[in-house]
Amino acid sequence: MDVAELPAEVQEYIRSVEEKAEQSVRSWETRYASLEEQYKLLLLQKFGRKSEKESDDTAQQVLFDSEPCASAEQAVEQATTVRSHSRKSPQGRKPIDESIPRENVIIDIPEDEKQCGCGHMMTRIGEETSEKLQVIPPKMWVERIVRPKYACKSCEGSGDEENPAVRIADVPASIIPKSIATPSLLSFIITNKFIDHLPYYRQEKRFERIGIHISRQNMSNWQQAAYEKIRPLIGLIHEHIRSGPVINMDETPVQVLGEPERKDTQKSYMWLTRGGPPEKPAFLYSYRETRGSEHIKDLLKGFTGYLQVDGYEAYTTALRGNDTVTLVGCWAHARRKFHEAGKVSKKSGSAQEGMKFIKQLYTIESRLREDKKLSEAEFLENRKVQVEPVLHSFKTWLLNRGQQVPPSVLLGKAIHYTLNEWENLVRYLGSPWLTPDNNAAERAIRPFVLGRKNWLFLGSPKGAESSCGMYSLIETANANGVNPNDYLRRVFEEAPQVKVSDNWETLLPWNISL
């Protein structure tokens, strides 16, 4: 029987069943596509390249994708633009730094070979030289502190009762009294851990190989004692950060043992704060048990200016009702989401197209930053004029594609994230001190993440706090062009002498004399 011959009620029921079936099929197809993308993304994250650099065949991917390009003119441009081929010429081995001391080793021919067969002595007409690098393990020695004692054998002290009968020089002030730890040993141990990522148990083995016995527990105790001594310096760095126009923040998980009323398997967090005057940047690493917005409020207390971060909602929550801090987004995070979508999607053209818009923003930023002749006002005006048309086109594209792409797939998530963060993302145009992204904070977190892969966890809350303090000093020194090992050694030498709080200012990386 033909369906058309059925009663109207039955036909309506059949149509509704068919529509539900089609909706169900589309839903499952979308669900499958989403799970397939997640699976491919996990494989890429586990085994693929971590770099987000675009490949050279991006233009072809967009050109031959079945999804529409932004415009026909762009398609023609993509089809006709071919990158020129270039190859780096081999440059050979780089010379060894001239500042490294040289010792000449002369390899000469025997004296009897210096006489020619004609009877005359041969003349030196030149030489051939080559360089080889020799290595001697770190030089260590024991410094014996000798303090002579003096006493009067005539009166045995009775003739000068105001002074001690036995006189001896005072013990020099030390960062860790009554221990073998010197400033040079401390800085050596701490830079090995926090720059070269060598846990204390590995350093213990290294010392044993050269006949020195320093337990990992001693090293940990020394770190804590040194941190307690220089704690005022960490407070000054925090104040310095809040004195600048921009603060960058980020956070990363860390496992800390022995936290009160918490399991050892629970995540804690290390918060990174970067700021201060642009010519004197500073970094503060802070340990907290959670990722809550209350920590953001605490770290920003007293700050007025811009806060540039990723899209984590706690930042928005923390600044609710705060009129002194302006939230700025990060284009690198938006780009990363399009990059991930382009890596796993069967039709990567739209993801690549979104990345092209973001790339234009960075190209404009880089070009204007390189022009040192521009004043701050000229830089802001030029950036606004050049960037706003790109942003307008990008937002139009996002709105159009957002209606065509399911929100559950990676491309839909990238589009939703960018539109949701749009107001924060475009705020970087308001200040010459702002850049399109929060990469300054992410780069500063990387040393901590690399170290975490080696030492895996922190043994106690106090150890976590002192580790953050050492990272703060090291990365702040690095950012200001000061050798961290030399800086720490100098700080450990001078800290025991500091009596007045104002004198700590002299030990900041931009003030200290090495």
Is the torsion defined by CA of 454, 460, 465, 469 positive or negative?
Answer: negative
**Cα-flanking dihedrals φ and ψ of residue 54, to 5°?**
-70, 145
> Tell me: the pLDDT tens digits for 340-357?
888 876 666 788 999 999
Choice between 10 and 178, residue whose per-residue pLDDT is larger: 178
pLDDT of residue 409: 83
In the prediction, which pLDDT does 53 show? 64
Residue 44 predicted with pLDDT over 70: no
Mean pLDDT along residues 490-505? 87
Q: Is the pLDDT of residue 397 over 90?
A: yes
Residue 131: pLDDT above 70?
Answer: yes
Can you say whether residue 258 is alpha, beta or left, with left for phi > 0 and alpha for psi between -120 and 50 degrees?
Answer: left
Query: Is the pLDDT confidence value at 316 over 90?
Result: yes
Ranges 53-62, 302-311, 363-372, 401-410: which has the least confidence: 53-62
pLDDT surpasses 60 at 173: yes
Cβ count near 103 (within 10 Å): 5
**pLDDT tens profile 441-472:** 999 999 999 999 998 899 999 999 999 999 99
pLDDT of the residue at 84: 52
Query: For residue 500, is pLDDT > 90?
Result: no
* Residue whose entry in the numeric block shows the structure tokens 């397939």: 36
Question: How far is residue 258's CA from residue 468's CA, in Å, rounded to a whole number?
Answer: 17
Residue spans per domain, the chain:
330-437
DSSP codes, 205-249: HHHHHTT----HHHHHHHHHHHHHHHHHHHHHHHHHHHTSSEEEE
Yes or no: say if 256 and 461 are a contact pair by the CB < 8 Å rule: yes
Q: How far is CA 135 from CA 100, 101, 132, 138, 484, in A?
A: 12, 12, 10, 9, 22
pTM confidence score: 0.78
Query: Per DSSP, what are the bridge partners of residue 250?
Result: 272
Which range is most confident: 59-68, 300-309, 445-454? 300-309
Among the residue ranges 76-90, 234-248, 451-465, the one predicted with the least confidence is 76-90
Phi/psi for 196 (5° steps) reads -95, 0
Locate 300 and state its tokens: 């920003």
Judged against a pLDDT cut of 80, whether residue 76 lies above it is answered with: no
The alpha carbon of 257 is separated from its chain's Cα centroid by a whole number of angstroms, namely 24
Question: Residue 319: CB partners within 8 Å, gap ≥ 6?
Answer: 296, 307, 325, 327
